[in-house]
Amino acid sequence: MRTASAGPEIERLMALLAKLPGLGPRSARRAALHLLGKRDSLMRPLAEALGDAADKIGACSECGNLDVTNPCAVCASPGRQPAALCVVETVGDLWALERAGAFKGRYHVLGGVLSALDGVRPDDLNIAKLIERAARDEIVEIVLALNATVDGQTTAHYLADKLAPTGVSVTSLARGVPVGGELDYLDDGTLAAAFRSRAAV
């Protein structure tokens, strides 16, 4: 990404911007020029927000969520149902479920899924803490909200085995036709799963 006439400061800025997901070398260049054109309204505030967030935000020692407090706002909230835990891969998944407003219990962020290909083993994930939390008296149900990928499902089976001795009820998200989905565009696996899990109207 040679720019010839730009100094090392701007080269470095572009190289770092290009590491963000969704930005390549070309869009990083556009972003850098955009930022330099909005120094006081965007560039300096962004620098400050990045430093601020890096300093203040940490992982919740209870569930692994990111927040400025520890335990996080979800774990600390007295309004949450204490009987259910929802296991997710990433904080992004936790946010997605919170936006959907579908779950009123607390979460547990694994930090990834088991993957032979990527060399992710049980010890690399936040699993020991999950077993510990699952063994507490108040927990009745654990919902495995992992991605419907091969690795996600392998991890779900592994967790179900590990959680069996605790006696809690382990469930997972339903498979089926997404809202607004058209049958003709759905893959065979989804259609077959939706058929198997058909329910009375």
Q: Which is nearer to a second copy, 72 or 144 (CB)?
A: 72
Residue type, 118: D
Structure tokens at 15: 């190289």
Residue holding tokens 């198997």? Answer: 196
Q: Which is nearer to a second copy, 2 or 196 (CB)?
A: 2
Q: How far is the CB of 136 from a second copy (least distance, A)?
A: 21
Contact present, 91 and 99 (Cβ < 8 Å): no
Q: Which is nearer to a second copy, 70 or 169 (CB)?
A: 70
Among 25, 61, 73, 81, binds a second copy (CB under 8 A): 73
164 near a second copy, rule: CB under 8 A: no
Among the residue ranges 28-36, 127-135, 160-168, 176-184, the one whose residues contact a second copy (CB under 8 A): 28-36
Q: How far is the CB of 164 from a second copy (least distance, A)?
A: 29
Task: Classify residue 89 as exposed, middle or buried by CB count within 10 Å of its CB (0-12, 13-18, 19+).
Answer: buried
Helix (H, G, I), strand (E, B) or coil at 142: strand
Which residues ranging from 5 to 24 are in contact with a second copy (CB under 8 A)?
Answer: 5-7, 9-10, 12-13, 16-17, 19-23
Among the residue ranges 95-103, 113-121, 152-160, 167-175, the one whose residues contact a second copy (CB under 8 A): 95-103
CA distance 180 to 152: 24
Contact present, 108 and 97 (Cβ < 8 Å): no
27 near a second copy, rule: CB under 8 A: yes
50 near a second copy, rule: CB under 8 A: yes
- What secondary structure does DSSP assign to 6-45, as a single string? S-HHHHHHHHHHTTSTT--HHHHHHHHHHHHHTIIIIIHH
What own/partner pairs with CB < 8 Å and gap ≥ 24 does 112-116 have? 113/89, 113/146, 113/147, 113/149, 113/151, 113/152, 113/154, 113/155, 114/151, 114/154, 114/155, 114/158, 115/151
Size of the site for a second copy (CB under 8 A): 57
Q: How far is the CB of 37 from a second copy (least distance, A)?
A: 9
Q: How far is the CB of 74 from a second copy (least distance, A)?
A: 5
Binding-site ranges for a second copy (CB under 8 A)? 2-7, 9-10, 12-13, 16-17, 19-23, 27, 29-36, 39, 42-54, 56-57, 65-69, 72-74, 90-92, 94-95, 98-99
